[in-house]
Amino acid sequence: MERSQERGGGEGVARQELGGEGLTLRREVGLWSAVSLIAGCMIGSGIFMSPQGVLVYMGSPGASLVVWAVCGLLTILGALCFAELGVLVPQSGGEYAYILRTFGSLPAFLVIYTFVLVGRPAAIAAVSLSFAKYAVAPFYAGCSSLPQAALKGMAATCILLLTLVNSWSSRASTMLTNVCTVAKVFSLLVIVGGGVVVLGQGRGRTEALLSAFHNTTQRTGCISMAFYHALWSYDGWNCVSYVMEELKNPQQNLVWALMIAILLVTGLYILVNISYLLVLSPNEILFSDAMAVTWGNQVLGAWAWLVPLAVTLSTFGSANGVFFSGSRVCYVAGREGHMPQLLSMVHVHRLTPAPALMFTAVVALVLVIPGDFSTIVNFLSFLAWVTYGTTISCLLYLRMKNKDLPRPYKVPTAIPALMLLASLYLVLAPIIDHPQTEFLYIFLFLLSGVLVYILFVHFPRRPRCLQTATLHLQLLLEVAPTTNSFN
């Protein structure tokens, strides 16, 4: 009874604030904020670091450019599929929500189990480590390697600062994303413009483009790994589906936001890679510790310091976008009973999912300690395409099972079929061509998820001590349960 009274007090505050509709997240994300969120999540550390990995695995500049273009096409096709799913299931949570409403509880739990405990915090950790590398570098000029303590400390500071901003106000978080997105798009335009100037002055390395496909690899495993590195730079295109309940006019703005942002980012990525190839030789790209910095030293001269500043802003904004969207998935999972109930609550005054944000931050801080950027990229890319393939199959299943569902927006069936085949290739090719122990760890982790589901979800156990702890944390954090806006 005491617990109900406390909840009633929290909900009473929210009802008064929201016109008696219950406690929900505000719809504060408009079209251009959604475009900024998608572009901000996509443009991060990847475009400054991944071109090196793509070139290593593909073996030739021309094949690398083809990979970047194909990845842009795959991203657009995947976004079209997600747009239709977003209209059919207008709920925050992205892949988790779509799989839950299509295939049921266990597959959705496995998605959220890997996403909340590993996937999203690992992405935040990877981007924060990239931010730390470029933020710390100016203070250790001339050093052959950066102190690990300084790197980890700066990455942790980034995570804590973003937790504070996102817990304080969703509007402040979107404003930060907007500012960082403008800055990072401007920095990419500077790189593109620098390549145009170099080409106009006749100093461009056009010989690399003339023999563009020499030494191209034929191994399917290497090709898929090259796709992993390029797709890491495109990752984040689906982040707006995580905040559907906060998107204004979702049926119209969802499709427009996805198309505008992805076409913008794809065009910039291809032009930036061409600029890299015009200025740097393949060997310089392969052996450079910071490729964008090497490019800046050769093109910008005294203004070369702008490049690490741009990368710092880019990674910080990307981490903020991942934080903003990822915490919403944790929040939705808590609301559905697949995560502790506390994670589904929002602050009664700020209306932000503070417990989910704090939980994500804690896991990300733990992963920062042993974090390695390249390993995280390969692991997350494999895991992401397992999830994407399952999500695309939801659309095909709904096409066959529920043909009469109202569809204000619909893509040709060939598109999800093609995306499903691409997902199968990206998942199976590395396992067949070059098996690694990381893939075994993923499989064992998923098996552990089945065990956790049986023990705590299928046969729920809610010890009284856990209920008491939830109540005290609810009072301490000033949070209350939410209403589900999905019917």
Q: Are 98 and 394 in contact (CB under 8 A)?
A: yes
What pLDDT, on the 0 to 100 scale, is given for residue 157?
Answer: 93
Burial 369-398 (b: 16+ CB within 10 A, else e): eebeeeebbbbbbbbbbbbbbbbbbbbbeb
Q: Is the pTM of this model over 0.85?
A: no
Query: What pLDDT, on the 0 to 100 scale, is given for residue 15?
Result: 34
pLDDT value at position 112?
86
- R_g over Cα of the chain: 23
DSSP state of 246: G
Give which of 364, 365, 424 is closest to 392, Cα–Cα: 424
The pLDDT assigned to 421 comes to: 93
pLDDT, residue 374, reads 62
Helix (H) or strand (E) holding 346: strand 346-347
Residues recorded for the chain: 487
Q: What values do phi and psi take at 402, rounded to 5?
A: -125, 70
Could you say which DSSP state residue 29 is in?
B
Report the pLDDT value the prediction gives residue 222, as an integer from 0 to 100: 82
Tens digit of pLDDT at every position of the chain (487 positions): 333 333 333 333 333 333 344 455 567 677 888 888 788 778 877 787 778 888 888 888 888 899 999 999 999 999 989 888 888 887 777 888 899 889 988 998 998 888 888 888 888 888 888 888 778 877 776 665 678 888 889 989 999 999 998 888 878 887 887 888 888 888 888 889 988 988 888 777 776 666 677 778 878 778 888 888 888 888 888 888 877 777 888 777 888 888 999 999 999 999 998 998 888 887 777 776 567 777 888 888 878 788 878 888 888 888 887 777 776 777 778 777 888 878 778 878 877 888 888 888 898 898 888 766 666 666 777 788 888 899 999 999 988 888 777 777 788 989 999 999 999 988 888 788 777 777 777 788 888 989 888 888 877 766 777 778 878 888 888 887 766 544 4
In terms of Cβ atoms closer than 10 Å to its own Cβ (0-12, 13-18, 19+), residue 98 is buried
What is the CATH T-level fold of the domain 2-480, as seen in this structure?
Amino acid/polyamine transporter I (1.20.1740)
CA nearest 24: which of 487, 481, 473?
A: 481
Element (H, E) at 480: strand 479-480
Residue whose pair of structure tokens reads 């942002």 in the numeric block = 261
